[in-house]
Structures are given as C-alpha cells and as structure tokens.
Chain A
Amino acid sequence: MRSAAGPVPDTRSAVDGVWTVRKELPIWLAVVCGLGLLVFLLSGQFFYLNLLTVALLFGGLAVSWNIIGGYGGQFSIAHSVFFAIGAYTAGNLFKHFDISPWISLIPAMVLSAGIAALVSWPVFRLKGPFFAIATMALTEVAIAFAMHFDLITGGASGLTIPYRAGLENMIFQARWAYAVLFLGYLAAALAVSVIVYRSRLGFYLQAVRDNENAAEASGINVLATKLKGMAISAALTGAGGVFYMMYVRIVEPAGLLSLFDVGVKIALIALIGGIGTIYGPLLGALLLIPLDYWLRAFVGSAVPGGNLMVLALILILGALFMKRGIFGALKQALDAVWRRQ
C-alpha cells in the first residue's frame, strides 16, 4: 500500500551524532563565506573572476541536480530543459513586459517545477539507464520545439534582451556583481539541498535510490517521493536559468538545450565531485569548470581541439582513480589519516 506519510520511523535521527540541519549550518556558512572571500580577492582579475562566476553557476546547477540525481538516484540528463524554461521565462517577461527578473524567478521556478512533474510522472516508470535515455529523448523534443516556436524562443537566432544595467534588471556593469549573484544562487541551492538532505524527503529519496522495492514495502510512496525531488530540483535549475539569461543576454536553443554542454555536463560535474553528497557537486564545479576554461584559454590554440583532448584525458583518469568522485577520494584519504592516528 502506498501512503504519502508512511510511518517510517526516522531511526537515524534517534541515533546520537546524527547531523541535523542546525549542525549543518556552520559548514554551509563557512563554505559560502569562503567563496565570498574568493570572489572579493579575484574581483580585479576579470578572467579568473569569470571562471569563478561560471563555476558558481554550474555549482548551483549541479547542487540542484544532485537532489534528484544524487539523493534520489534518478540519473536525469534533461535538466537543460528546466534550465531553458527558466531562461525563456525571464527573457520573455523582461523583453516584452518589462518585468524584473527578480520577480520572474517565481514564475520561472513554478513553471520549471510544474513541467518537470508533468513530464516526469510517466517517465518515472522507467528505471536506471532507461530513465536516463528517456530524459535524453525529452531534450531532443525540447530542442525541436524551441526551434519551432520562435515567438517564445526567438527560434534559431535566439532570444536576446536589451542591455539595461541596474540592480532591478539583474544586469550589472561591474563584473564582480555577477559573481556575487551566482554565489547567492549557489548559497540558496546549497541551503535547499541541506534541508532536503536532512529532511524526511531526503531520507525517502535515498531509500528509493538504494532499493526501490524495499522503500515501497516500508510504506514510502515512491512515485510521490521522486516527483517531489524532481520538482524541487527542477525549480532550482529553472532559477539558475533566470540568472544565466541575465548574464549572457542571448540564448539560442542549440546552446541552451545542448545535451552535452548543459544536460550531461551538470550531471558529470556532480558525479566527479561526489554524487549524493552535499558539497561534492560544488567541488566538482569548482574544479571542472575552471579547468575547462583555463585549458581553452591557454592550451587550445596549439592544435584544434587540443584543450578538449587534455580535458578528456583528465576526465577518464579522474573516473578511474576517483571512483566515488573527488569528495569520496578526499574522504577516503582523510579516513586513512584518521585511522593511522
């Protein structure tokens, strides 16, 4: 029998030493402050500041993805769709109705979550790799629609919004402002991630990930759990799309909905950082994005594609030698040191 409020005894919280949201707070604060300090230090170094800015954005996206992909184990590669919904919502509202993107955040998140729940509902019947492939199909459908319905998306030429700097428009001339903006986004995503992780929903999601049948047998409504996780994850991703729109001010379907540049990339960042952990995805973004951009800027010109070859080798070696992601590798190393002492 399925019931939403299944009587699962929250045994973990009974065990002493279990982390609660309150105990998690100081770490969250430390991470956000640390990144804030980094933004401050780099604020005159525009190239590196920009690396950090993009890394913070993708960090936020990967943290959002991790809620359903990591905690829930549902390997979606369609998050670019929710990202795009956010971008198109904010772009259109700003362009045609002069609505501040700060306000657009609300419809963007609601729309992303709604569409995510709607399309995920049937797709959640599929499991494991099948689910991933089905989400890939969703991306393809979304690209075709985005190309076709050019009233909303601007078609292939893309949607552009005018440059009108100002806090209310979320468009800034100062470069550090975007870094701060994306840091705020990341901090919010992390906070939600922490709360979900330490909540009943978080435990349900992990139970579903670890063994769906057992989870169902113990009274968890599997579908409702997955849908809730997906909706939260998609809403946060949609918010990321809003910020991204105001940052680049031009989005076109091929780039915005790119399977590899957005959909798969978000998932890979979470994976290499440490899937299912709170800070792993952030760690992945902070390493992978700067690496990608740095190689592009300084290695790329020797041979065509040279930078991506180096990146690819690092990815493969990373996968081979850090099977549980960077976070897992770090934890292992720390544990080893601990034990020796």
Chain B
Amino acid sequence: MKKFIRNGVAAAILAGSISSPAFTQEDTIKIGAITPNTGGMAILGNDLARWYEMAAEEANANGGVAGHKIQIIRGDATNAQEAIAAVDKLTTVDEVDIVTGTIASFISQAASEATLNYNKMYWETNALAVGLTERGLPNFLRTGPSAAYYALQAADVSTSKLAADMGKDVGALKVWVEHEDSNYGSSIAAELDRLIKEKGSSIQTAGHKASSVDLTDAILRAKDFDPDVYIIAGYVVDTNLLLRTMREQQFKPRATILIGLGDSKETSDAVGQDYLQGVLIVTYPRHHINQSYAPGSDAANDAFRAKYGEDPVGNSGFNGYVGMQVLFKALEATGGDTSPEALIAAAKEMDLPKGTFPTGYGVKFDDNMQNTRADAVTYQWQGDITTVVWPPEAAPEGVEMKDTARP
C-alpha cells in the first residue's frame, strides 16, 4: 500500500472524462491478460498467456506496434470476484492500458464490466459464451469464435458430410449431444440443438457433471437412442471417461465428434490411438491444416515449440495468439491510441478476408462486435496425428475424411 492519499484523478477516470492518449508519456503499451493460474483451468490459462507473450515478442522484434513496445502482464482469476480483483490490480498497480483474456466466460463477464469502470478496452480473444457480445458493452469485442461457431461447424459436418457418407437423408439423421453441465458444454449443446433441429434432423441433448465418478448411465441412455452421430462437449477428464465407457459398453455410433479437445496426449494416453482412429474433433484451427487456408500456422507452431521446448497444450492458445495479432493491427490503425472508443472504431473499420491470419480467420465485426470471420474446423484422428478434414478447403493437400465408425 504505497499511497494512502485519496486521489482526485481517480474520480475523473471513473467519470470517463480522461481517455488514454496521455499514455504516450512512455513507449510501452501494457496489456493485462486475465489467464487462470490456479485451479482446473491453470493449464489452459498458462498456455494462452504463453501465446500472448509470443505474439508480443514477435511484434516487438519487428519494431513494436505503432512505435510502441508491447508488454503482457498476467493476472490470475478463477471466479467472478477474483476477476474483479485481477482487473483492479492490473489497471491500478500495473497500470495496463488494455485488458485481454479469457478462458472462462463468467470470468470474462465480470472482468470486462470491471474494466469498463476504468474506461479501458477489454479485448476478448477466447471466451465462448454467445451472450458476451450481446451485452452491448462499449469496451468489448471478441476476435475468436463464440460457442455458436463450434456448434455451427459440428452441425455442418454432421448434416453436410456425415449424413451423405452414411447414405442417410438429413431428416433421418439422429444426433446425441452429451455435454458437461457448466456454462461451456451447456451453451454449445443449446446452440447445436437449435441448428440441428433447423436442418430437420432429430437430436437429443443430455448433461452430466464433469466431476462425475461414473458416466455409464449416460452411455446406456445414449445407446438406447442409437444415434448416428454422437457429440461430446466436455472437459478432458469427463470426455476421457466417456470414451473409455463407450469402449467398455461397446457403444458404436457411426460417427463420434469431440468438441474443443481430444487431439492431445491427454486423450490419446487415456484410450490409446487405436481406439481414437476416425474420431472427429471440432476445434480452433492450429496445425495439420492447409497452408493456403491458414497461412503461416505451421511456422507459428514451430516457433512456439522452439521458444518453450514443448507442444502447445491444445488449440485455444493459438486462437489467442491470433486475437493478439488482430489487436496489434487495430493499434496500428489508431496510432497507438488504446482508448475503447478508438479501438472499437478501428476494429469496425477492419475488413480482412478469411485466410489473413494463421488460424484462417479474417476480420469483420458484426454490430455486437463479434468477429464473423472466425470459424472452427473439424479434425480427425488419422494414424498418430489429428488432421483437418472439414471444410474441404481447410484440409491439407490429399487428406480426406476416413471411416468414422468405432472399431
């Protein structure tokens, strides 16, 4: 507690009358990153922060952004009140100019409102909940896909590709969505339910607790329904348990889709690569992807490995890396002005076609400031890797979707 003296400036900031150009007093733009470093999300938070830091280092090596050096400062939060505390700490102690993140949507929700109190930009790259961009917050946008885009991709691959491969009419297709019952899984399931029904297929959604000791009941119920496409939207631990139970119970849907994860060692160690052959994964684009669809993605992943000596944990961090690049482009446009008004105005002006960034994203924000050119893709386990198989233009040269049925 350095100063106890009541600070008159504080009130002025609260009133929103001072905007940030004043920061040119120094050459560094500080970006606070709300990334959990404790609890169950620590591993994802750490991965995301590493990608942010790599993006910043690359920008600095290229002479900075609009003449400024970029510095990333991490802030830890695992729930709403910690998010508020983290924003307070980052904005007042570290004096960051922009706040970014986040792994979980409820953290983003609380953190972005707290950031508004300081009249600073909350540059969301990762959190998935659809509702985040529908609040009309004047300091908020999202560069990555929302849960709706995950659902969109899963619904698209099911109805456009899988149904045809199975020789089924879309109207006769049966889909089961097994989701963990927190915000993440539930919001994807709700979106899928809407989209699949729209297409005329039949769909059943079911929730489970990610901390469940047993999920055999969930598998038995799904087995009774006998779906063609079985979709799991869960976390690592419960997804693994579901896959193991599927094998035990000899539940063999024609196609299995995992949402957001399932391409890492964490899953292949649990059930073995043999069992995973043909399993589909809907997630952020990262590697084993057509380089004309996602230019530079291989190079960026190689750089990550060279820098940290290990593979990224999953794909979400890479999505954050691109979000950071979009931010840098916006900052170039504002000439280094970090105020929400300037950044939002610059973002609205952006019109970059798909394929601009290493994830294959383009940039065009809708009225809610959701990027409409950020699509998820579908991977498939083939041999000892996962490779993009859908949409066709994203699949690497010569790669096609193989048989999706369980052994």
A binds B: yes
Q: Does A155 contact B (CB under 8 A)?
A: yes
Q: Which of A22-81 contact B (CB under 8 A)?
A: 40-51, 54
Q: Does B24 contact A (CB under 8 A)?
A: no
**Which of B4, B85, B129 is the most central at the interface, judged by chain A CB atoms within 10 Å of its CB?**
B85
CB-CB under 8 A from A304, the residues of chain B are: 37-38, 42-43, 46
Closest to A158 in B: B106
Q: Does B80 contact A (CB under 8 A)?
A: yes
Binary A-proximity of B1-35 (CB < 8 A = 1, otherwise 0): 11111111111001000000000000000000000
Closest to B49 in A: A301
Q: In the complex, A162→B135 CA distance in Å? A: 8
Q: Does A249 contact B (CB under 8 A)?
A: yes
**Which of B82, B88, B92, B110 is the most central at the interface, judged by chain A CB atoms within 10 Å of its CB?**
B88
A41 contact from B4, B75, B105, B135, Cβ within 8 A: B4
B183 contact from A46, A51, A158, A173, Cβ within 8 A: A158
Q: Which of A286-339 contact B (CB under 8 A)?
A: 293, 296-297, 300-301, 304-305, 307-308
Q: Does A213 contact B (CB under 8 A)?
A: no
Q: Does B290 contact A (CB under 8 A)?
A: no
Whether B84 lies near A305 (C-beta < 8 A) is no
Binding-face segment, A2-10, A106-114, A251-259 = A251-259
CB-CB under 8 A from A163, the residues of chain B are: 113, 116, 135
Q: Which of B80-113 contact A (CB under 8 A)?
A: 80-82, 84-86, 88-89, 91-93, 105-106, 109-110, 113
Whether B6 lies near A41 (C-beta < 8 A) is yes
Name the prevailing secondary structure of the A interface residues. Answer: helix
Q: Does A157 contact B (CB under 8 A)?
A: yes
Q: A173-B117, A248-B80, A301-B76 are in contact. Are A50 and B85 (CB under 8 A)?
A: yes
CB-CB under 8 A from B187, the residues of chain A are: 157
Closest to A54 in B: B81
CB-CB under 8 A from B110, the residues of chain A are: 248-250
Shortest Cβ distance from residue B313 to the other chain A in the assembled complex, whole angstroms = 12
Q: Does B181 contact A (CB under 8 A)?
A: yes
Q: A40-B6, A41-B6, A305-B38 are in contact. Are A251 and B80 (CB under 8 A)?
A: yes
Whether B3 lies near A44 (C-beta < 8 A) is yes
| Number of A interface residues in the complex (CB < 8 A) | 43
Whether B181 lies near A156 (C-beta < 8 A) is yes
Q: Does B79 contact A (CB under 8 A)?
A: yes
Whether B1 lies near A45 (C-beta < 8 A) is yes
Q: Does B74 contact A (CB under 8 A)?
A: yes
Q: In the complex, A54→B303 CA distance in Å? A: 42
**Which of B2, B38, B74, B86 is the most central at the interface, judged by chain A CB atoms within 10 Å of its CB?**
B38
CB-CB under 8 A from B86, the residues of chain A are: 296-297
Q: Does A160 contact B (CB under 8 A)?
A: yes
CB-CB under 8 A from A307, the residues of chain B are: 38, 76
Q: In the complex, A147→B208 CA distance in Å? A: 10
Whether B76 lies near A45 (C-beta < 8 A) is no
Q: Does B160 contact A (CB under 8 A)?
A: no
Q: Does B171 contact A (CB under 8 A)?
A: no
Whether B1 lies near A48 (C-beta < 8 A) is yes
**Which of A43, A45, A162, A174 is the most central at the interface, judged by chain B CB atoms within 10 Å of its CB?**
A45
Q: In the complex, A177→B116 CA distance in Å? A: 16
Q: In the complex, A296→B76 CA distance in Å? A: 6
Q: In the complex, A146→B219 CA distance in Å? A: 24
List 24 A-B residue pairs with CB atoms under 8 Å apart, sorted by A's residue number. A41-B6, A43-B6, A45-B2, A45-B92, A48-B1, A50-B88, A155-B186, A156-B182, A156-B185, A157-B105, A157-B129, A157-B186, A158-B106, A163-B116, A174-B14, A175-B14, A251-B80, A252-B183, A254-B182, A296-B76, A296-B85, A300-B37, A300-B76, A304-B37
Which residues of B are interface residues toward A (Cβ below 8 A)? Answer: 1-11, 14, 37-39, 42-43, 46, 74-77, 79-82, 84-86, 88-89, 91-93, 105-106, 109-110, 113, 116-118, 129, 131, 135, 181-183, 185-187, 207
Which A-B residue pairs are the 10 nearest by beta carbons?
A: A44-B7, A304-B42, A300-B76, A297-B89, A47-B88, A46-B92, A248-B80, A156-B186, A50-B88, A157-B183
